[in-house]
Amino acid sequence: MRLNDITDNEGSARPRKRVGRGMASGTGKTAGKGMKGQKSRSGVAIKGFEGGQMPLHRRLPKRGFNSLKPSDFAEVNLGRLQQAVDAGKLEAGASVDATALLAAGVIRREGDGVRLLGKGELTVALNLTVAGASAGAVAAVEKAGGSVTQTKARTEADEAARAAKTERRKARAAKKK
């Protein structure tokens, strides 16, 4: 075999369409773009344009809020912790934090911290140090004889500010009615 013998498989590369090469080619004159108009010319970008009608993305109401700096927590369920204990990757009664979970292969990366969720069952006592935890997860860990320490738990000041904001929102809504 020589370099000049090497060819592509039959049909693997479709030949490019040569437009504007006479009427007999089938793509002559207007080159398959029809007659006149914006779409027959180059540089057309009319995504979302509905012929002057208000486009759908502007007709629908905007809802919610997207944070510019969202938190990226590594989420861990109780069932996953139990699997790691059963496999011998975590010790019962030991202190477990993000580095221990990384070493055990329970999480891939720490991110902004570990958030403990309550799916599954935990039967051994673990002393967990996590960024956050759901109420159900905390109850399940304490029921098994362990403890949960939250490093990014809401303080009383945070709760007070949150309550004040809710009250202001309610007062504003009542004023509008």
Domain ranges of the chain: 74-150
Q: Is the pLDDT of residue 39 over 90?
A: no
CA distance from start to end of the chain: 86
Q: What are 156's two structure tokens?
A: 């009383």
Residue 169 scores a pLDDT above 80: yes
What is the spatial distance between Cα 150 and Cα 116, in angstroms, rounded to a whole number? 10
Model pLDDT, residue 76: 94
pLDDT tens digit sequence for 98-131 = 999 999 999 999 888 899 999 999 999 999 999 9
pLDDT-derived band at 18, boundaries 50, 70, 90: very high
The average confidence (pLDDT) of the chain is 90
Distances (CA, A) of 106 to 47, 82, 133, 157: 44, 10, 16, 33
Indicate the CATH number for domain 74-150. Answer: 3.100.10.10
